[in-house]
Amino acid sequence: MKLAIKLAFRNLMGAGLRTWLNVIVLSFSFVIIIFMKGVMIGWDHQSKTDMTNYEIGGGQYWHETYDPLDPFTLTGSHAPVPEEFKDEISAGDMEPFLIVPGTIYPQGRLQSIVIKGINPRQSLLLLPSAKLDTATEAIPAIIGSLMAKSLKASTGDQITLRWRDANGTFDAGDIVIMEIFSTNVPAAEAGQIYVPLDRLQKMMMMPGEATVLTFRDGDKSRSEIENWTLKTKGDLTATVDAMIKTKTVGQTILYIILLTLAMLAIFDTQVLSIFRRQKEIGTYIALGYTRKQVVGLFTVEGTMHSILAALLSAAYGLPFLAKMAKTGWTMPIDTSEFGMAIAQTLYPVYSLGLVISTVLIITMVTAIVSYWPSRRIAKMNPTDALRGKLQ
């Protein structure tokens, strides 16, 4: 094996440009696959972190009838905060949110929205709720940049809000935009405004009631509470996992195309080698190689392309991947309208496992692709091979 590696290396170096063209193509596959996989891992990591920071915390209890995808459930999805959570809430490790439907009238237009009541002094989410801790005649509100764009609203603007209280009575008042925040989590801002919880409870005539209870510690063992459904972090990020899984399938097709192109180059080289190097094959046999050993030599030679490609990838790929991990990959279009948790700039995350598994997979595939045409050597007649007679 050691000799085969030595000879294969000499042969590859001696083949010059032919070798390097294959190696360059293969190294692109290495770098692109690692980069794209890194982006996926980065996106997964980033979106889950952002969701934790802006929307779900360590997990949530939902009122049993609450369904964020069904606005008709909002009217009845509220109940007093259970007594057993009072300590956790007063410690700031759990925050109640009251979620109700409403209508807003920006510049005379009518727009249905979701009104979320949030404790202005909460520190569980990164929402700038402290801006709600103010005394104004109008109802103080914070909105996300996507919502602001939709409303064409700026900080300080007053907009009429209409709601229907627990008794079914319609009421209206003005909100004043205290802050416009940016987040990568559309579900935390799209079509919704945040107002102080106690004020919303008064407006809705639902004192001490909430729709969602968000807690900080996701690792703490929790059980179901009557009228409330426990949603773990895993449950709440399942949509992101599903989204990434879908994207991963698409990317896998890209990897397969990339790998196929690189493997075609290797396969082509191997087939050509076997036809063009018949005399050389005959010479190896005349000098004391068995045909199987020559098959081994050609397989090692083909496989070594991927080793050289890995080294070449390390030379230019590592700085590239490191730079991308630092500066990130900025999406060419506005991601806020994607409707999913995705940052404008994605920061790839690479693990040693990712690099090693990619190198191993490509090397294994290269070995198979190199071996496949090389098997033909085992059927060659050495005397014909020595004469370079096509077989």
Partner 1 sequence: MENTPIIRIEKLVKKFPMGKGEFTALNGIELQFSKGEFAGLVGPSGSGKTTLLNIIGSLDVPSSGEAIVLGRSVGRLSAREAAQLRKESLRFIFQSYNLLAVHTVYENIEFPLLLLNYTSAQRKELVTDALEWVGLTDKIKSKPPQLSGGECQRVAIARAMVKKPSLVLADEPTANLDAANSHNILQTMKTLNRELNTTFLFATHDEKVISYLQRKIFLLDGKVDREEIISN
Residues that bind partner 1 (CB under 8 A): 3, 6-7, 10-11, 13-15, 279-280, 282-283, 285-293, 382-383, 386, 388
Residue 335 contacts residue 343 (beta carbons within 8 Å)? yes
Supply the minimum distance, in Å, between the C-beta of residue 33 and partner 1: 31
126 vs 386 by CB, closer to partner 1: 386
Closest among 289, 262, 271, 238 to 361, alpha carbons compared: 262
Supply the minimum distance, in Å, between the C-beta of residue 305 and partner 1: 15
289 vs 347 by CB, closer to partner 1: 289
Please list the residues that pair with 97 across neighbouring strands: 212
Supply the minimum distance, in Å, between the C-beta of residue 25 and partner 1: 21
311 vs 378 by CB, closer to partner 1: 378
C-alpha–C-alpha distance, residues 255 and 151, integer Å: 42
C-alpha–C-alpha distance, residues 333 and 336, integer Å: 9
C-alpha–C-alpha distance, residues 198 and 207, integer Å: 8
Query: Could you write out the three-class secondary structure of 207-248?
Result: CCEECEEEECCCCCCCCCECCEEEEEHHHHCHHHHHHHHHHH
C-alpha–C-alpha distance, residues 12 and 271, integer Å: 15
C-alpha–C-alpha distance, residues 391 and 385, integer Å: 8
150 vs 283 by CB, closer to partner 1: 283
135 vs 287 by CB, closer to partner 1: 287
88 vs 280 by CB, closer to partner 1: 280
Supply the minimum distance, in Å, between the C-beta of residue 271 and partner 1: 18
Give CA angle at 7 (5, 12), nearest 5°: 95
Supply the minimum distance, in Å, between the C-beta of residue 17 and partner 1: 12
C-alpha–C-alpha distance, residues 138 and 159, integer Å: 9
111 vs 283 by CB, closer to partner 1: 283
7 vs 41 by CB, closer to partner 1: 7
Closest among 386, 207, 190 to 279, alpha carbons compared: 386
Supply the minimum distance, in Å, between the C-beta of residue 387 and partner 1: 9
224 vs 384 by CB, closer to partner 1: 384
Supply the minimum distance, in Å, between the C-beta of residue 280 and partner 1: 6
Please list the residues that pair with 175 across neighbouring strands: 139, 159
Supply the minimum distance, in Å, between the C-beta of residue 368 and partner 1: 24
146 vs 266 by CB, closer to partner 1: 266
C-alpha–C-alpha distance, residues 217 and 142, integer Å: 26
Residue 331 φ/ψ, nearest 5 degrees: -65, 140
Residue 138 contacts residue 241 (beta carbons within 8 Å)? no
Supply the minimum distance, in Å, between the C-beta of residue 279 and partner 1: 6
Supply the minimum distance, in Å, between the C-beta of residue 311 and partner 1: 20
C-alpha–C-alpha distance, residues 2 and 327, integer Å: 42
CA distances from 357 to 22, 254, 261, 309, 370 (A): 21, 17, 20, 15, 20
